[in-house]
Amino acid sequence: MLQIDASTGGLIGDALCHVPYMDFLCRKHNSKALVFGLNPLVAAMLAPSYRFEFGPLRSDQPIIRLSINDAFGYVNQCHMAQAFFKQHNAPLPPMPMTLDLMAELCGLPPGLVVAPYSRSNSPDNNKFWPHERWLEVISVLRKERLVDRVYVVGASGPDNPAPYLAAGVEPVFDRPLAQVLHLMRQAPLFMSVEGGLSHLAHYGGVRRHVMLYPGCLPQTWARNPYAVLVTAKMPINVQVCDMAAGARQVLKAR
């Protein structure tokens, strides 16, 4: 059995980007893999088709260590999920990628889904768009009768749903990712910053997606190839009309 240290896959997006190369290693060596350190929310939604087991590694056996920090050296050359392949001189898988992910009924009617939070936001807010602007976009789309029910997705503690609650937006917090994926797949539109859920949308085949993509990253590195991208050097430079235009493009194309 292979042993893989995936502990740099602690964030949802990073963890998802580890999976294609880990699966490649299992197929190459026709072996299962004992995996350590992968985000447990991601591990829980990986289908049984992946030959992974999760637990502590044995120090007396060889360990394959994957480092997202080392892969970041290829930030200007490929998507982050391709970077492990490039780093180890393996053929690059084509984009977009699809992972075998388990979705689970969320028990909620379809509606616009907004994911405004990012764990990798920096102190200068390189991935943050003000909540009042998200709410303005929602208000515009409601007035134009393009959306009705709206959800905001996040996690208790780090994410604050209060501004959205006050505007009649329903928080969907602390759900398993399998339920979040189902909610996103049934949504007429998913809107997000670049973060873990934007990667989940990509690998989960969510095609109705408007993504606020930060200028701090090359266009290829973390994008969802299915998404309509709204970009600026800094997110604060993106205006409400820019995001609303992207939303109309997706909603009117259904």
Domain of 224: which CATH number? 3.40.50.2000
Nearest by Cα to 112 from 250, 2, 7, 253: 250
Q: Is residue 96 part of a domain?
A: no
Q: Confidence band (pLDDT; 50, 70, 90) for 147? A: very high
Q: How far is CA 238 from the centre of its chain?
A: 20
Core vs surface per residue 117-140: b (16+ CB within 10 A) or e: bbebbeeeebbbbebebbbbbbeb
137 is in which domain, residue-wise?
Answer: 112-251
Q: Is residue 198 part of a domain?
A: yes
73 with 117, same domain: the answer is: no
Return all residues near 4 (Cβ < 8 A) that are at least 6 apart. Answer: 22, 25, 33, 34, 35, 36, 63, 64, 65, 66
Q: Is residue 93 part of a domain?
A: no
Sheet (strand 150-154) strand order: 170-173, 150-154, 112-115, 190-193, 209-214, 228-232
55 with 163, same domain: the answer is: no
Residue range 82-134, pLDDT digits in tens: 999 999 999 999 999 999 999 999 999 999 999 999 887 677 777 789 999 99
pLDDT at 8 over 80: yes
117 with 83, same domain: the answer is: no
Q: Is residue 32 part of a domain?
A: yes
* CB neighbour class for 105 (10 Å; exposed up to 12, middle 13-18, buried from 19): exposed
The overall average pLDDT reported for the chain is 94
Q: What is the pLDDT of residue 233?
A: 87
Residue range 194-239, pLDDT digits in tens: 999 999 999 999 999 999 998 888 888 998 999 999 998 888 999 9
Residue 61: how many other CB atoms lie within 10 Å: 10
Q: Is residue 99 part of a domain?
A: no
Q: What is the pLDDT of residue 118?
A: 85
74 with 118, same domain: the answer is: no
pLDDT at 69 over 90: no
**What is the distance between the alpha carbons of residues 235 and 66, in angstroms, rounded to a whole number?**
30
206 with 244, same domain: the answer is: yes
12 with 132, same domain: the answer is: no
Which helix or strand (DSSP H or E) is residue 193 part of?
strand 190-193
Please answer whether residues 177 and 41 qualify as being in contact, where contact means their C-beta atoms are separated by less than 8 angstroms.
yes
**What is the distance between the alpha carbons of residues 196 and 198, in angstroms, rounded to a whole number?**
6
Q: Is residue 225 part of a domain?
A: yes
Tell me the CA distances in angstroms from 161 to 54, 154, 166, 171, 182, one per residue in order: 32, 8, 9, 6, 21
If you ran DSSP here, which 8-state letter would residue 89 be given? Answer: T
pLDDT at 184 over 90: yes
Mean pLDDT along residues 163-178 = 96
42 with 152, same domain: the answer is: no
128 with 209, same domain: the answer is: yes
81 with 119, same domain: the answer is: no
Q: Is residue 100 part of a domain?
A: no
Mean pLDDT along residues 149-178 = 94
The percent helix, strand, coil of the chain (3-state, each to 5) is 35, 15, 50
75 with 117, same domain: the answer is: no
**What is the distance between the alpha carbons of residues 15 and 109, in angstroms, rounded to a whole number?**
29
167 with 244, same domain: the answer is: yes
Q: What is the pLDDT of residue 81?
A: 93
Out of 87, 122, 151, pick the residue that ends a domain. 87
125 with 225, same domain: the answer is: yes
Q: Is residue 181 part of a domain?
A: yes
Quote the number of domains for the chain.
2
Q: What percent of the chain has pLDDT over 70?
A: 99
Partners of 101 in the β-ladder: 46
**What is the distance between the alpha carbons of residues 91 and 74, in angstroms, rounded to a whole number?**
14
Q: What is the pLDDT of residue 158?
A: 86
Which helix or strand (DSSP H or E) is residue 52 part of?
strand 52-54
